[in-house]
Structure 1
Amino acid sequence: MKYPYREYVSVFKALADETRLKIIQMLSSGELCACNILEEFNITQPTLSYHMKILTECGLVKGVKEGSWMKYTINNERLEIVKDIYEDVNKNR
């Protein structure tokens, strides 16, 4: 077994949501403040916090508090492993 798959179940569960997929796509362009992410959705701030908590807890996203703002970036190391897992599954088809 190349990867400890149990560690990545939460990542794939996190990606199984349209809002979180869009957030990952937005963050692929670079760091964003929570307020900038919120502008793209018709959701409340607590709902955004819920989605960001899931993304940070599974390790796909890193959050840093700057004053009263949260800034988020993609955790590229974690994302690369997810891509590798997908590629391994896809090439064995």
Structure 2
Amino acid sequence: MSSETLRLFIAIPIDEQLREQLTEQSRLLKSNLHFQKWTHPEDYHITLKFLGDTSVHKIQQIKKLLYDVALATEPFELRGKGWGTFGSQTSPNVLWASVSTEE
């Protein structure tokens, strides 16, 4: 049995309207926050759960469980809510946007 792992997380894509809003807002923030690398808008997503190093042998099982959950889940709308960072306040390393189902 191989001990090969992949670093995984569970995420959902965002729609084009929210992607455009986040892109515009992050463009405005770039003058105040100096990250070495900014995430490309096509890579924006909502992280639901960080799985970390996961055995490649479990991937099919995880995909099946997620498929079953997706089938049982009603559609919902999200709106951008605010911004935050991970890392120190003087030198943050991750910019994130929060979302909410409320207006």
TM-score by length of 2: 0.24
> Where is the strand percentage greater, Structure 1 or Structure 2?
2
TM-score by length of 1: 0.26
Larger Rg: 2
> Where is the helix percentage greater, Structure 1 or Structure 2?
1
